[in-house]
Amino acid sequence: MPPRMNTGPTSRVASFFLGALAALLVIVVFGQVSFAWTGVDLRLPYKIAERALVLLWIGCLAFPFGRTTLPYRFRPPDLALVLFALAAALSVLLGGGHWGDVRNLLAAIAIGWLARTLFGAPHRRGLLLHYLGGTVVLILVRELIAQPDLLLLREHNRYGLVTGNPNMLGFLFAMTSPLFLAAALGAHRARRRAAGLYFPAAVLGVLLTFSRTAAFGLALGAVITALGLERRGRALAWGALALALFLALQRPDLWTGERRPGDADRPRIVRTSLSLFSDAPILGIGFGINNIEERFPARYEALYGARLFRFHSANQLVDLLVGTGIIGTALALWWAAWVGRDALSRRRSAHGRPARIHAAGQLAALATIAAMSFAEPPLYHGKLLPILFLVLACTELPANEDE
């Protein structure tokens, strides 16, 4: 006789947060939702929705049923992450004046912890993959409805994307792709079929953004995931064929025409940012795009005789040095190294083909995020941030029992 489903209060609490998280992802994709109530048009931006969900979870933990249903479960890397967040807050308190990105960071961290708890139960582990896959598909559908010409794969169409800037969207598509590929290769039944939809959607998304960083991340993630297969030679051969097809479709030799001026500015941008870092090397000038934007143009003009407005340095490590100094950067690297070491350990200790592929996909997602961060700062993209921490939560979940 099959076990009876739990329909008590704890189940209803979990179901509420499952629904609320799904709604949050929809709001993140569209930026906000609008609705009329008693003749007044109300708007709910994704940042407010995200913080409201976090506060609901924290409030829920104040009650015994909340601590039983969705308890926070400490993991060793959390210590480094909390210390980094504290350093980011201190950098703004002592050096900067804009708190927006610190609040975004704290909310995204909490969303990741909520997801780790919410999807940690064995019967819910596979759901997070569907949440991420559904987000990718929703973004893709929205972009194609808004601009059907995207399918013509013309580079200038990347500037008409409506969900976010092309580099941010490319980062999102690329960092989720290893998780989808691993599930398509090694998951069980329905999840494998769903991942067979999510992975091509992520690949198409990278193609449509014409992001060089995302293209590199996509290739890196696929190679690392393929190395988790028993027949690596065949997997790498298919990968080489896919790469040849990608190059034929995308013609990266033609990408740089409209982007050469921006590429030429990158060394100057980095040098300007590092000069700001030298002003406050211990805790930085303040974490966040508004703090660097406030100081960057004048410094660039002092160095090069022209004003250039920048929100980030196109390199997460440089932005961390500028924003949080040596202390914040060291703590962030400690956290990243701890997360990576745990993923590598799970990959080495995995037994059985499905578990090995699952662990390889998790490691590949982390490697993809780390590699792309040298050309794009994920911690400074508000829309990307909660999805980033959902991906990080997904990389910590063990393989499903039926895999």
Residue 334 in contact with residue 80, Cβ under 8 Å? yes
User: What tokens were used for 403?
Assistant: 């895999």
* pLDDT value of position 81: 98
Write out the two tokens for 62: 């104040």
Please give the pLDDT value at position 87.
98
C-alpha dihedral (89, 93, 94, 96), degrees to nearest 10: 90
Tell me the two tokens of residue 207.
């193609």
Tokens of 285: 């000038």
Determine the pLDDT at residue 244. 60
3-class SS of residue 122: helix
Distance CA 171, CA 167 (A): 6
What Rg do the C-alpha atoms of the chain give, in angstroms? 21
| 163 contacts 135 by C-beta, under 8 angstroms | no
Return the pLDDT at 3: 39
Contact 394, 129 (CB under 8 A): yes
State the Cα–Cα distance between residues 311 and 292, nearest whole angstrom.
6
Neighbours of 295 (CB within 10 A): 18
Given a cut of 80, whether residue 36 has pLDDT beyond it is no
- Rounded Cα–Cα distance for residues 17 and 388 (Å): 19
Name, in order, each residue with C-beta under 8 angstroms of 36's C-beta and a sequence gap of 6 or more: 42
CB 401 within 8 A of CB 368: no
The mean pLDDT of the chain is 88
- Block residue for tokens 């929205």: 142
Percent residues over pLDDT 90 in the chain: 67
Q: How far is residue 336's CA from residue 124's CA, in Å, rounded to a whole number?
A: 26
121-161 tens-digit pLDDT: 888 888 999 999 999 999 999 999 999 999 988 888 999 99
The answer to whether the CB of 284 falls within 8 A of the CB of 95 is yes
**Mean pLDDT along residues 216-237:** 78
pLDDT reading at 245 higher than 80 = no
Complete DSSP assignment for 225-276: HHTTSS-HHHHHHHHHHHHHHHHHHH-GGGGGGTTHHHHHHHHHHHHHHHHH
Please state, in angstroms and rounded to a whole number, the distance separating the CA atoms of residues 326 and 201: 39
311 band by pLDDT with thresholds 50, 70 and 90: confident
Is 60 exceeded by the pLDDT of residue 1? no
DSSP string, 283-298: T-S-SSHHHHHHHHHH
Q: How far is CA 369 from the centre of its chain?
A: 8
User: What sign does the CA torsion over 263, 158, 26, 290 have?
Assistant: positive
pLDDT of residue 264 exceeding 80, the answer is: no
Q: How does pLDDT run across 70-106, given as a tens digit for each residue?
A: 999 899 999 999 999 999 999 999 987 899 999 999 9
What does the pLDDT average to over 36-62?
Answer: 89
What secondary structure does DSSP assign to 188-212, as a single string?
Answer: -THHHHHHHHHHHHHHHHHHHHT-H
Question: Which tokens hold the place of 256?
Answer: 């740089």
pLDDT tens per residue across span 178-203: 999 999 888 777 888 999 999 999 99
In Å, what is the CA distance from 306 to each residue of 82, 296, 300, 303?
39, 11, 7, 8
